[in-house]
């Protein structure tokens, strides 16, 4: 019996001796945004920024969320006119002139222009462009009319004072 107790004691010593403390600790991951959010950024597209603008989400959004991006294209008697990206403009002969595109991850959205001669695009389309980025929870993504900024904002119950302006 003494041999078994001695053997267990030795095994216990080796087991406890193999446990060490390194002094390091784990940092909890950043929790993604859990609600609908709308961001507004005013930006210009030029050769100095490669005709693009990167907007970072802090904290990141859920990977299942959908990002909708709209460009303020004008104003009429009923209010602001928002165009859902992608947005494309063509020459009279049907060839691509220029357009606006975007891509996103759960950490950022990149808004950029496409075209053959972007420097020749009117400054009305390149300078001081107002962009709204709408983060839509996955549960709403299929039940709203994404083509209409007004319909999206109404369905998500977003008020103008909830729009977060981002200075770049």
- Read off the pLDDT of residues 18-76 as tens digits, 9 standing for 90 and up: 444 444 445 445 555 446 899 999 999 999 999 999 999 988 999 889 999 999 999 99
CATH class of 37-166: mainly beta
* Closest listed residue to residue 40, CA positions, set 76, 77, 79, 80: 80
Q: Give pLDDT tens digits for 107-150.
A: 999 999 999 899 999 999 999 999 999 999 888 878 889 999 99
The predicted model scores a pTM of 0.77
Mode of pairing for the β-strands spanning 66-76 and 129-136: antiparallel
The domain segmentation of the chain, as residue ranges, is: 37-166
Give Cα 5 to chain centroid, integer Å. Answer: 62
């Amino acid at each position: 019996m003494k041999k078994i107790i001695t053997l267990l004691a030795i095994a216990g010593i080796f087991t406890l001796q193999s446990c060490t403390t390194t002094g390091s600790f784990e940092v909890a991951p950043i929790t993604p945004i859990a609600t609908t959010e709308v961001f507004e950024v005013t930006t210009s597209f030029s050769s100095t920024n490669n005709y693009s603008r990167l907007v970072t989400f802090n904290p990141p959004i859920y990977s299942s969320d959908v990002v909708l991006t709209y460009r303020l294209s004008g104003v009429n008697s009923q209010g602001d006119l928002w165009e859902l990206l992608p947005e494309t403009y063509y020459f009279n002969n049907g060839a691509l002139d220029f357009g606006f595109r975007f891509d996103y991850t759960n950490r950022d959205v990149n808004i950029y222009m496409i075209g053959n001669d972007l420097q020749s695009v009117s400054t009305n389309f390149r300078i001081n462009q107002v962009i709204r980025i709408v983060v839509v929870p996955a549960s709403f993504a299929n039940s709203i009319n994404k083509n209409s900024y007004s319909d999206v904002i109404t369905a998500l119950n977003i008020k103008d004072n909830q729009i977060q302006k981002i200075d770049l």
